Amino acid sequence: MAEQTGENKDQEKQDAREILAHALVTLRKKAGKSLSQLAEDTGYERSYLNRLENGERISKRPVMEDLDSYYGTDGLLVKLWQSARNSVIVNRFKLFIRYEEGAVIMHKFMTAIPGLLQTEDYARAILSSSPNHGGPDWLEEQVALRLSRQELLRREPPPSLRVILDEATLRRPTGDAKVWAGQLTHFLESAEQPSIVIQVLPFTAGVHDLMGGSLSLLWQADGMGVAYLEGNKSGDLVEDAAEVAQYRLSYDQLRDAALPPSASLDFIRTVMEDTAS
């Protein structure tokens, strides 16, 4: 299959958003509602609803769920939203996202706070630090996209998620102490879920062969495994079974060197205390 041109990719992205926007306009008009009336009925700001209908914004999933309920469209808007959301994800990341969404087991070594466990405030702080910051609408769209990935943790049954955090991730707070405290608290609360295990790899563990990047190992329901290596500005998806097995061995070594789960949570609490003092 010939590779899509940049123009075709942009068109696909635009089409998906236009379809969602058109559906929102059509449903509102069919219901005989003005934007102001819709805003009053749903509690969302008129300007926000207008941007959704113009295709200028990608909402969060709960907004589409609310509108599906309002219009009685039985999940249609959520499905269109999912297509629109997927169409704006960077193409090199897209296949990884699909594997992640279908994974039943996820093992991650992270040198940065993983998107699956970021709070909304932390995600906004990180994304707003980008030199390619595209303004308020761009920022809110990117935050919504990042948080939408966390939906998979709330499915039944949820995937089994084990995250090894490099100590460096816990030693680089945000400028806003409240945002950082909220993120650390979220780690502790997440670890209370039976399906989520968090470990910390302390500096004292020494050197290892995954330094300089993050690793995600994802297993599908049929047993297939993939690895995703991520640097600061790049990512590489590995599907070869032999290579994935090698990365699994590297991950297992880090898991053995990391603090046990209970000690890891104590470590995070200590970081919280140090930050607050």
Alpha-carbon distance of 201 to 56, in angstroms, equals 41
Q: What is the DSSP string of 23-74?
A: HHHHHHHHTT--HHHHHHHH---HHHHHHHHTT-----HHHHHHHHHHHT-T
Alpha-carbon distance of 173 to 118, in angstroms, equals 13
Residues 127 and 216 grouped into a single domain: yes
136 upstream amide cis, omega within 30 of 0: no
Token representation of residue 22: 């058109």
Alpha-carbon distance of 51 to 44, in angstroms, equals 12
Residues 132 and 229 grouped into a single domain: yes
Q: Last residue of a domain, which of 53, 87, 121?
A: 87
Provide the CATH number for the domain around residue 34: 1.10.260.40
Provide the CATH number for the domain around residue 234: 3.30.870
Residues 101 and 236 grouped into a single domain: yes
Alpha-carbon distance of 76 to 20, in angstroms, equals 10
Alpha-carbon distance of 229 to 235, in angstroms, equals 6
Owning domain of residue 59: 6-87
Q: What is the DSSP string of 61-124?
A: HHHHHHHHHHHT-TTHHHHHHHHHHHHTS-HHHHHHHHHHHHEEEEEEEESS--GGG--HHHHH
Tens of pLDDT along the chain (277 residues) come to: 334 444 444 444 458 888 999 999 999 999 999 999 999 999 999 999 998 999 877 788 999 999 999 999 999 999 999 888 777 555 567 788 889 999 999 999 999 999 999 999 999 999 998 777 778 888 888 899 899 999 999 999 999 999 999 999 999 999 999 999 999 999 999 999 999 999 999 999 999 999 988 999 999 998 999 999 987 666 788 888 899 999 999 999 999 999 999 999 999 999 999 988 7
Give domain status of residue 12, yes or no: yes
3-state secondary structure 115-153: HHHCCHHHHHHHHHCCCCCCCHHHHHHHHHHHHHHHHHH
